[in-house]
Amino acid sequence: MGYAQLVIGPAGSGKSTYCSSLYKHCETMRRTINIVNLDPAAENFDYPVAVDIRELINLDDVMEELGLGPNGGLIYCMEELEDNLDDWLTEKLDDFMDDDYLVFDCPGQIELFSHVSVLNNFVEHLRRKDFNVCAVYLLDSQFMTDVTKFISGCLSSLSAMIKLEIPHVNIMSKMDLVKNKKDLEEYLHPEPVTLLSQLNQHMAPQFGKLNKALIDLVDEYSMVSFIPLDLRKPKSIQYVLSEIDTSIQFGEDADVKVKDFDIDPDGGDD
């Protein structure tokens, strides 16, 4: 059985930086992970790329040949990947061992994890290949400055969770860039009553019922929980990794290593 992280989130939320830091952290721990680039527009990498979608299709070529813009071109590229799941991707996945750990660095276009089918079919393909998959959703902590932005981020993450239907871990990224972390503490594990009160203060009275429905929805799906990630702190990276590993049951099928002891026939240990 293989294991995989699907790293998603809005553009600029720090997905590639997360992948790079995760790779370096695991390298220090002498743990092997493989980073797969699924962004056809990517140019530079701070990590070794095990598989690169640009070997299949490149965004610049698509935009030039078909006259598409960046967003339309990217959707075209991802649909091309979807059409080649059974040949190109299967061939690439066959190069890995059964217990390998893959991290997929995805593009930041929200359409990919909100309403188009590309990532759904991608996840289903990984499952057929006997991979346990977890979605890792990154949200930039620097934009969590008020309750309206926080609810917007939660709903975006909830949309991805419902669309993909796989284990889901929310990460509040770029905590190392936040000057006053106390401003974000209330959004890490907020109380629904407090959120509703703050949201009502920002909105006109006629939106009261809508505000309550939104808060109830977020609370019902347990979306008001984000793990803070400070890339300067190895313990922070390790905690995030352990939460993801738990969600995909990584290591649970490993053999238990039992140390052999010489037994003293008189009843004591040597």
Is the pLDDT assigned to residue 268 strictly greater than 60? no
Is the pLDDT assigned to residue 259 strictly greater than 70? no
Q: Are 51 and 98 in a shared domain? A: yes
Residues 155-176 have pLDDT tens digits of 888 888 888 999 999 999 999 8
Is the pLDDT assigned to residue 123 strictly greater than 90? yes
Q: Are 116 and 216 in a shared domain? A: no
212 inside domain: yes
Q: Are 153 and 61 in a shared domain? A: yes
Query: How far is it, in rounded angstroms, from Cα 22 to Cα 231?
Result: 9
Q: Which domain holds residue 195?
A: 190-222
Q: Are 6 and 66 in a shared domain? A: yes
Of 44, 113, 48, 104, the C-alpha closest to 75 is 113
Query: How far is it, in rounded angstroms, from Cα 194 to Cα 201?
Result: 11
Is the pLDDT assigned to residue 256 strictly greater than 70? no
Q: Are 142 and 198 in a shared domain? A: no
Question: Any idea how long the chain is?
Answer: 270
Q: Are 171 and 216 in a shared domain? A: no
258 inside domain: no
269 inside domain: no
Cβ(168)–Cβ(135) under 8 Å?
yes
Query: How far is it, in rounded angstroms, from Cα 89 to Cα 195?
Result: 43
Q: Are 70 and 22 in a shared domain? A: yes
256 inside domain: no
Chain centroid, CA 227 distance in Å: 12
Please report, in angstroms and rounded to a whole number, the separation of the first and last CA atoms in the chain: 40
Give the CA-trace dihedral at 31, 37, 38, 42, to 10 degrees: 150
Q: Are 196 and 185 in a shared domain? A: no
Residues 205-250 have pLDDT tens digits of 999 999 999 988 888 876 667 899 999 999 999 999 999 999 999 9
Q: Are 55 and 182 in a shared domain? A: yes
261 inside domain: no
266 inside domain: no
132 inside domain: yes
Query: How far is it, in rounded angstroms, from Cα 20 to Cα 22?
Result: 5
Chain centroid, CA 130 distance in Å: 19
Query: How far is it, in rounded angstroms, from Cα 138 to Cα 9?
Result: 5
Higher pLDDT, 202 or 183: 202
Please state the pTM of the whole predicted model: 0.87
Count: domains in the chain: 2
Token representation of residue 13: 């939320």
Q: Work out whether the CA dihedral 120, 218, 109, 42 comes out positive or negative.
A: negative
Q: What's the CATH code of the domain at 173?
A: 3.40.50.300
* Poorest-pLDDT segment among 8-17, 72-81, 139-148: 139-148
Q: Are 103 and 67 in a shared domain? A: yes
Query: How far is it, in rounded angstroms, from Cα 115 to Cα 121?
Result: 12
Q: Are 123 and 184 in a shared domain? A: yes
Q: Are 151 and 129 in a shared domain? A: yes
pLDDT at position 131 is: 94
Residues 63-89 have pLDDT tens digits of 999 999 999 999 999 999 999 999 999
79 inside domain: yes
Is the pLDDT assigned to residue 264 strictly greater than 60? no
- Find the DSSP H helices in the chain: 15-28, 59-66, 70-83, 90-93, 118-128, 147-164, 185-188, 192-202, 208-220, 234-247
Higher pLDDT, 104 or 184: 104
pLDDT at position 4 is: 96
